[in-house]
Homo-oligomer: A and B are copies of this chain.
Amino acid sequence: EDQDKGDVWLPSLVTETPQEGFELAIKLSRMGVKSTQSDKEVLFREREKYAQNGEALIHASEVIAVHFQTVAAANNYWK
């Protein structure tokens, strides 16, 4: 737990490519979930459940979309 707090997991929003930016958006979404529920067992159990549910999958995709807006802006859209 303490170690987690000390970890640097987000040194920068800059990525080489749009695709790496999308991967970062996925990571940010998951870290948001983890910030509310840090118990890995519960996380895995719930992820298993909502990954079987179409509407939850759409919602998960929406969170990624919001973070991807941020990451894309941070990278000036990789232009």
Min Cβ gap A64→B in Å is 4
Contacts A66-B69, A67-B65, A69-B70 hold; do A37 and B57 have CB atoms under 8 A apart?
A: yes
Tell me the number of copies of this protein. Answer: 6
For chain A, the count of residues having a C-beta within 8 Å of the partner chain is: 52
Residue from B9, B55, B61, B72 in contact with A32 in the complex, judged by beta carbons closer than 8 Å: B61
CA distance A37 to B52 in the complex (A): 8
Residue from B19, B35, B53 in contact with A64 in the complex, judged by beta carbons closer than 8 Å: B35
Interface on A for B, CB 8 Å cutoff?
8-14, 17-19, 22, 26, 28-33, 35-37, 42, 46-47, 49-70, 72-74, 77-79
Q: Which 7 A-B pairs have the closest CB atoms?
A: A32-B61, A46-B54, A74-B77, A50-B54, A65-B66, A10-B19, A32-B64
